[in-house]
Structure 1
Amino acid sequence: MAGTGNSRGPWGRSRLAGLAPYLFLAPYLTVFLLFFFLPAVFSAVLSLTNWRIVGTPGFVGLQNYRRLLTDPLFFIALENTTVYTLAIVPTMALLGLGLALLLNQPLRGRVVTRLSVFASYVIMVSVVGIIWRWILDPTGAGLLNFYLAKVGLGPLPWLASPDTAMLSIILATMWWTAGYNMVMYLAGLQEISPELREAVRIDGANAWQEFWHLVLPSLRPVTFFVVVVSIAKSFQVFGQIYVMTQGGPSNSTLTLVHYLYVAGFTWYEMGYAAAIAYALFGLLFLVTVIQFRLVSREAGGAGFVRADFLVRLGLHALMVLVLIAWLAPLLWVLSTSLKPEGQILTLAPRWIPQTFTVENYLEIFQKYRLERWLWNSLVVAGSATLLGLATSVPAAYAFARLRFRGDQWLFLLVLSTILVPVHITMVPLFIGLAKVKLVDSYFSLIMPTVANGFGVFLLRQFFQGIPRELEEAAVMDGASRLGVLLRVMVPLSRPALTAVAIFLFLLSWNDFMWPLIVTNSDATRTLPVGIATALGGGTVSGQSIAYYGISMAAVVLASIPALIIFLALQRYFVQGITFTGLKG
């Protein structure tokens, strides 16, 4: 009976108080266990078999792993993945930092430029692949080759040559993802105290000294986060390669994840595919540990450049170049979508169509079920976002405010969804869903994306910054733990919730490999897969695909929903990232 008189509601000091953290975590951990942890364990077992979908799997021990050591395609994929990662990670970190520093200045037009750069990130990967196949078309109709030829530097074979195919993938990825890193660094810059920057200037520091001794060290947590996430994403590159090159020509763009897809879902060697997935996990884990050790050994605000006329003029000129680089491909897509096919393949690209037409838009709906793909994507992304928030919010609150046995280990386990490649779960998930006849269903598309450690991490960071006095006041008024969460924490967390909602929506909206594997009909096929399979065809040599007008019309229509959502919520998105702090 002791303690019952002091209980404040069902989550107060009663026996349930000790269970509160686990009850808050239960929804998230249930999804995590069913759709991530258990499939990952089963994948490890599967990697020790020779199963090929049909028949009884036979135990072969480490034979699949020994095969990796003698498989030339595996080493080609490993080399290509390493080259891609080494090129992308430092380049994207520097590019994101540079864009953030530039667009943090009080320049006219910076808002439009920011939106243009980040707008490319919200476009789905299959759309990005089709855009850049068109821009890099090896014929005279390709936009980039046309202008390179004008200055005597082209044309180049781009996707058609093993020497330039990977460079083409890197260029497309840089344009696509630079906005993500830019927003992370912009959020970090807002965390630097204006008073501290003013004190540094009073002490006589010039712009370079201020950047080197104050700004850059202050951005170290953001840089660490950006680099870790970039490495994880780079090791798992798949979508743009599938759409642009299919791993060719001559395996020059074959990566580990693409090879996993071929082994598992083209050759149907499920055991070998699982071994490739765990090899990928081992490599990524090793790189991450090395990075953490290197960092552990190392012992919001205005722009850092002062406003003299020449500097500001140069910054404006640089901003215009950035705006052109990110906006031009989107304008070219829109222009192409409004041209008759006869104008598109001319040797002199025209930005303004000689004859405007909407036939491409009408034809896309006549030939393909674009409206169904769009509806499927909206249902899947919307449901995954709502379920993700419903499970992440209580889990993040438990990790931020409640102390319980095993909390640190559980939090690290949740964060593993950020660093552990999801591909180690795909083969077991596909097998399990096939056995219960849930392949090609909304369930199979939605549930595996719900448990996302990144959302829990961001919300936990935000919750930790809310004063405890507000919670204590609510408890004094008789609120339970659940009441505190719903009436205090959630209303105060609107920016963070919006940021997480956008991330979860884009994660599902842009998801490509899993829907490609698990859908086989228009009834459930999502927009990225529908566009890639219907309009992203072509040969691995990178030659032109037909019907560019229809393809670009589909690209425009596919990009509109995500762009509308981002433009409507972008203010809350940047605030949410800023307020979370990204600090350990």
Structure 2
Amino acid sequence: MAAGSIVGRSAGDRLILGAVILLAIVWLVPVVWVTALSFKPNAELMFSTASVLHPPYTLKNYTDILASSGVFRWLFNSAVVAAGTTAGTLVLSSLAGYGFARTEFPGRTLVFVLVLIGLAIPEQAVIIARHQIFSDLKMHNTYAALILPGLSIPFGVFLMTQYFKAIPRELDEAAMLDNASRFQIFWRVILPLTIPAQATLGIFTFLTAWNDYLWPLISATRPEMFTLTVGIASTQTNFAQSEGLGFLMAQAVFAGLPVFVVYLFFQKYIIRAVAGAAIR
């Protein structure tokens, strides 16, 4: 029975591994295809995309992107907005989550319900009101206008609240016996235990802010304040899809490359975050 169980488990593990490899290939094929198209001359692609399988190849599509005078400014703007939004979200969501999970105050349940209702409201539903607010405050074309709307993420508050609730309250009580203040308990005892949740929320927030297109398109009207997504889109011609397919694919690769670099540097933390979230 033991030998049969081991054999069965081994066969099941192989099936799972095979399925994972197959899904990885399915996911990689479009990425490889887009990358290959980005190195093809646009003139070749006008006739057939099948020419991607053989030379000639060129770097002209990427040099055309770099030739744009504002591309590095747009890259810097995206980095500032994504980093600022991520840092602000982690701070506010952690404080709010701790407040909902570990403290008692009048109307706590009602306020938390209102936060959850925010999960059901799409960004497009409030975009006009948001534009009017920042317009009245004369804050458009500033980093503050690009960052502040991204800080209101109900998902982050919900995630951190649930994570804080899972931490035993005995830790708070033990710290209080040592005359620790409420902030010391939060900062030194409870917050370090939420690193997996912090990493998960940080990754989600960074990717969302980096790939955001709608709000930067509305708020940033000056080229020097464009984010990378808006700036690259502004360089496209009216006939880009028919005459500049390789250039379009190069834009897609260029915009996604910084995220890939971030993943390489923070791969260990990302895996730890996903594993920690799965265990939870």
Q: C-alpha displacement at 1:320, in angstroms?
A: 4.1
CA contact (8 A) 1:502 1:573 kept: no
Which residue matches 1:474?
175
- State the distance in 2 between where 1:521 and 1:427 align: 19
Q: C-alpha displacement at 1:350, in angstroms?
A: 4.0
Q: C-alpha displacement at 1:576, in angstroms?
A: 4.2
Q: C-alpha displacement at 1:348, in angstroms?
A: 5.6
Scaled by the length of structure 2, the TM-score of the pair is: 0.87
1:324 partnered with 2:25: yes
When residues 313 and 392 of structure 1 are mapped into structure 2, their CA distance, relative to the original with a 3 A threshold, is: closer
- State the distance in 2 between where 1:339 and 1:408 align: 57
Which residue matches 1:572?
272
Which residue matches 1:528?
229
How many residues of Structure 1 are paired with residues of Structure 2 in the alignment?
273
- State the distance in 2 between where 1:549 and 1:371 align: 21
Matched position secondary structure for 2:50: coil
Q: C-alpha displacement at 1:308, in angstroms?
A: 5.9
- State the distance in 1 between where 2:248 and 2:241 align: 12
CA contact (8 A) 2:37 2:249 kept: yes
Which residue matches 1:549?
246
- State the distance in 2 between where 1:348 and 1:449 align: 38
- State the distance in 2 between where 1:536 and 1:406 align: 54
Partner amino acid, structure 1, of 2:31: L
Q: C-alpha displacement at 1:359, in angstroms?
A: 2.0
Q: C-alpha displacement at 1:488, in angstroms?
A: 0.8
CA contact (8 A) 1:498 1:576 kept: no
Q: Deviations over 1:343-370 (max 9, x none)?
A: 3334261444513322221111113622
Q: Deviations over 1:374-422 (max 9, x none)?
A: 1111111111111111111111001111122111111111222211123
Q: C-alpha displacement at 1:486, in angstroms?
A: 0.5
Which residue matches 1:504?
205
Partner amino acid, structure 1, of 2:272: Y
1:423 partnered with 2:124: yes
- State the distance in 2 between where 1:536 and 1:471 align: 60
When residues 349 and 455 of structure 1 are mapped into structure 2, their CA distance, relative to the original with a 3 A threshold, is: same
Partner amino acid, structure 2, of 1:575: A
When residues 475 and 437 of structure 1 are mapped into structure 2, their CA distance, relative to the original with a 3 A threshold, is: same
When residues 403 and 318 of structure 1 are mapped into structure 2, their CA distance, relative to the original with a 3 A threshold, is: same
Which residue matches 2:38?
337
CA contact (8 A) 1:510 1:528 kept: yes
Q: C-alpha displacement at 1:500, in angstroms?
A: 0.9
Q: C-alpha displacement at 1:315, in angstroms?
A: 4.8
Largest Rg, 1 or 2? 1
When residues 350 and 321 of structure 1 are mapped into structure 2, their CA distance, relative to the original with a 3 A threshold, is: farther
CA contact (8 A) 1:537 1:545 kept: no
CA contact (8 A) 2:70 2:224 kept: no
Which residue matches 1:307?
9
Greater fraction of residues in helix? 2
Question: For the aligned residues, what is the CA RMSD?
Answer: 2.6
Q: C-alpha displacement at 1:551, in angstroms?
A: 1.9
- State the distance in 2 between where 1:536 and 1:318 align: 41
Scaled by the length of structure 1, the TM-score of the pair is: 0.44
CA contact (8 A) 2:40 2:52 kept: no
Instruction: Map 1:159-308; keep pairs closer than 5 Å.
Output: 306-307=8-9
CA contact (8 A) 2:134 2:140 kept: yes
Relative contact order (alpha carbons < 8 A, sep ≥ 6): 1 or 2 greater?
2
- State the distance in 2 between where 1:313 and 1:477 align: 52
- State the distance in 2 between where 1:492 and 1:431 align: 40
When residues 312 and 461 of structure 1 are mapped into structure 2, their CA distance, relative to the original with a 3 A threshold, is: closer
Q: C-alpha displacement at 1:446, in angstroms?
A: 0.8
Q: Which runs of 5+ in 1 are unaligned?
A: 1-201, 203-305
- State the distance in 1 between where 2:17 and 2:237 align: 37
1:445 partnered with 2:142: no
When residues 353 and 483 of structure 1 are mapped into structure 2, their CA distance, relative to the original with a 3 A threshold, is: farther
Which residue matches 1:462?
163
Identity rate, percent: 34
